[in-house]
Structure 1
Amino acid sequence: MTEGPGSSQSMKKTIGHRGVDPTGETTYKKTTSSALKGAIQLGIAHTVGSLSQKAERDVLMQDFYVVESIFFPSEGSNLTPAHHHGDFRFKTYAPIAFRYFRELFGIRPDDYLYSLCNDPLIELSNPGASGSIFYVTSDDEFIIKTVQHKEAEFLQKLLPGYFMNLNQNKRTLLPKFYGLYCVQAGGKNIRIVAMNNLLPRSVPMHLKYDLKGSTCKRRASPKEREKSVPTYKDLDFIQDMPEGIQLEPDNYNALSKTIQRDCLLLQSFKIMDYSLLVGIHNSDQASRERGAVTPDHRRPQAQKALYSTAMEAIQGEAKGKGTLETEDQWGGIPARNCKGERILVYIGIIDILQSYRFIKKIEHSWKALVHDGDTVSVHRPGFYAERFQRFMCSTVFKKTRVQLGRPDLLPQTDPLAGSSSEFPATNLPNSSPGSTGMTSSSPPQRYLHTSSLS
């Protein structure tokens, strides 16, 4: 499992535990990405298979604290297959509880197994500054992310409350955790979580933001801007979209209620420093670019998991408490930008495994000495939740001003689609570009050409 020649002296660069060896392959705690992916798939295949042999039952309190462990020698054993990686041990945390979570979201064991283990995991090339490694399944359904020991420990403590919240409300923007695992190799513990994928690769994102509601140094760095798909921040959003993202009134109200409910839960667990990840697909720009670049005509696959798209997460509020009936596989929330262009918005709350511990209190104290204490991103949970909600519901998302007699419709198919029969219609009721109160001056635009997106 160890990377061999990729010792600490020969690493080209390291961010946290993530590095790159002389061959150019990503490493994590000196384990190559290919070896880690192989161990993850072998381990999950075994644990899901063995779990299917156990009778289904109600989740008990002790189930949240169970840890199962299996050793995978390279030569194989009576329980495990032979493999070409080094020896490793695979741990599964709270398997019964996570099985319940997956069932709650309609994920069948064979679908979970097929998504994670049938095809090689795809490493995301733009992982950010956290030092984590991200993998996505080939069907775009799940994300595998490495997490630090404290984050994994906090998730374990969070599980009973997480369980109660999901029972009460499946429609949420909070991360949906489907499994917590640990690969032990070379004397190191590599902890990973399986979770929902917010940004499908088959839908090109023209803009991406990580928003906290803070303005203290919340601007993308020059290095970040050089990336093919930069992740911009709060000050960038304020500059780019002074009019915010315009939502149809019902969707705005539903989204606001969802954010309010999620923030209340996060505050109750003293969770903070989370972000709202916002991906924007510009339908009008995609239409203009269609003749200049080769579009991605892959149809977004139907999600295996229920309530997994941004539209589903809020539609329970928008359309009552009945069963969601939608055939829109694009899953984004229809909206308009400040230029009146039609966009689809993909959102979710990320990075919730941060509690307001002593180190965060110290970090806020010294930042507040230099900056206005109310603008720094690290703040006490109650204030953080209030500021986050206020920023999202007043600066980022705004209610479209309806102009009677001017109903505009979103296209019946996304401009990337090849035929009108492939995608159903999505309506934007009674809104118009002229009704948003926009100024004539256009802010700087950061839209990327879709040819640069993978």
Structure 2
Amino acid sequence: MGQAIELYSPIYNQFRYIQMIIAQIDNINKLKSPSKEKDLSQPAPTSLLNLNTAFDPMSNEVVRPPPVTLYYNECFARIRATSSVSADLKAEFVNAKAPGYLPSPGRSPTFFMSSQTAKYLVKELKPSEVPLFLGFVQDYATYLETHPDSLLIRYLLFFKIDQTSFIIMPNAFAPPAVGLSAIPPAQLHPRLKYDLKGSTVHRTSKGDAILKDNNCNRLFVFDQKTRATVVNNLKLDSLFLKQHGFLDYSLLVGVTSSLKRYGRFEQEHKLTSKSLNAIMVNSLVEQDLQLIQKEVTEQKIHAFLTTNSELCYLQIIDFFTVYTPKKQMEKFFKSFAHPADQLSVQTPDFYCERFQRFISEIIISDFGM
């Protein structure tokens, strides 16, 4: 995933320090945040992780890493406990030899790094995002506990190395781990990926791996029960974000090919060994589809089978934007050249309403089809 990190580059060293932090995850889970009441001048209770010396899995040596600060550790421990994060989080990072690196597609200096199999991602936070996150963390952790089916991206750990802040999150497109008989496991990775906001201005991808609103020329069709569950959760999530003044978030969608086609053979009119084989393999595919849905649920992966037997990954991401005076001016000037209601920059109320209307239009049920 992404490009290789040059040996001993600054990014490579950052990842080595992150490995040392994750190697201490068992101790991190036991750390307590200060019990004193929140001081608005210091908006985040923090825990200091004692890494005066730490084992470096890259060099097999004990080294002295830079200072590490954990933000709201107890909140993130609660999120990790409800997100099916187990020993593989530690193994994914400590065992990584050549972590992937994804530079930001925009002008921002932020970047992503991936764990060994890209099951988890590390994101550098912009300085402007840090105070927004700090003021949101406690409500965010409580919301995820009370809404376990929420489609908000799960942030698992928030920490600072020297003066740079990072978050660790699951990869929204990491496939379920299942033992399949008829469906090739590689086909559980998305074939198409979309970043959707419900706006049309500057929402066209030109050869990018992630498509945008104007590139999305399809609907996502589920059975009635699944559709109701998905749309309801997305509406609750967007209302929660609106309450915190957030806007400009995206619905990240990944869609596989139809999984049923892997059991299909060219049918013949006569009952031959070939057509018998087709019947048997199709039966295996049905069993595999049921297994996939079961494992997706148990592994708490935000994915659902469409009526066309595609595995559709869904997640709300990138919600640390608020309607500042700068954003108001941006909307004002852009509205001279584009329809105001189609701009990405909106008030939180309008953005939420438009987002909900949009998802209701593209996520539909098979009723009457």
TM-score of the superposed pair, with normalisation by structure 1 = 0.62
Query: Residues 166-245 of structure 1 correspond to what in structure 2 (within 5 A)?
Result: 166-184=144-162, 189-200=163-174, 202=186, 203-221=188-206, 225=207, 230-237=209-216, 240-241=217-218, 244-245=219-220
CA distance in 2, matches of 1:304, 1:120: 28
Whether 1:257 and 2:232 are equivalent positions in the alignment is yes
Whether 1:128 and 2:113 are equivalent positions in the alignment is no
Contact kept in structure 2, 1:61 and 1:160, CA below 8 Å: no
Q: State the shift of 1:213 in Å.
A: 0.2
1:92 to 70, 74, 79: 70
CA distance in 1, matches of 2:70, 2:167: 10
Q: State the shift of 1:209 in Å.
A: 0.7
CA distance in 1, matches of 2:201, 2:364: 23
Q: State the shift of 1:59 in Å.
A: 8.6
Q: State the shift of 1:197 in Å.
A: 1.7
Residue number in structure 2 paired with 1:384: 351
CA distance in 2, matches of 1:200, 1:289: 26
Whether 1:355 and 2:355 are equivalent positions in the alignment is no
TM-score of the superposed pair, with normalisation by structure 2 = 0.75
CA distance in 1, matches of 2:299, 2:320: 21
Whether 1:160 and 2:141 are equivalent positions in the alignment is no
Q: In the superposition, relative to structure 1, how do residues 262 and 80 fare at CA in structure 2: closer, same or farther (>3 Å)?
A: same
Residue number in structure 2 paired with 1:38: 16
The one-letter code of the counterpart of 1:333 is F
CA distance in 2, matches of 1:145, 1:58: 26
Contact kept in structure 1, 2:5 and 2:99, CA below 8 Å: no
More helix, by proportion: 2
The one-letter code of the counterpart of 1:259 is L
CA distance in 1, matches of 2:229, 2:11: 40
Q: CA RMSD in A?
A: 3.5
Q: In the superposition, relative to structure 1, how do residues 371 and 44 fare at CA in structure 2: closer, same or farther (>3 Å)?
A: same
User: How many positions carry a matched residue from both structures?
Assistant: 322
Residue number in structure 1 paired with 2:221: 246
CA distance in 2, matches of 1:367, 1:373: 8
Whether 1:366 and 2:329 are equivalent positions in the alignment is no
Contact kept in structure 2, 1:199 and 1:279, CA below 8 Å: yes
Residue number in structure 2 paired with 1:283: 258
Contact kept in structure 1, 2:31 and 2:73, CA below 8 Å: no
Q: State the shift of 1:219 in Å.
A: 0.6
Whether 1:144 and 2:122 are equivalent positions in the alignment is yes
- SS of the residue corresponding to residue 310 of structure 2 reads strand
CA distance in 2, matches of 1:60, 1:280: 46
1:114 to 59, 67, 91: 91
The one-letter code of the counterpart of 1:132 is T
Contact kept in structure 2, 1:141 and 1:304, CA below 8 Å: no
The one-letter code of the counterpart of 1:361 is Q
Residue number in structure 1 paired with 2:301: 309
CA distance in 2, matches of 1:305, 1:248: 16
- SS of the residue corresponding to residue 335 of structure 2 reads helix
- SS of the residue corresponding to residue 347 of structure 1 reads strand
CA distance in 1, matches of 2:78, 2:37: 13
CA distance in 2, matches of 1:104, 1:276: 22
Q: In the superposition, relative to structure 1, how do residues 254 and 53 fare at CA in structure 2: closer, same or farther (>3 Å)?
A: closer
The one-letter code of the counterpart of 1:37 is F
- SS of the residue corresponding to residue 68 of structure 1 reads strand
The one-letter code of the counterpart of 1:122 is P
Residue number in structure 2 paired with 1:410: none
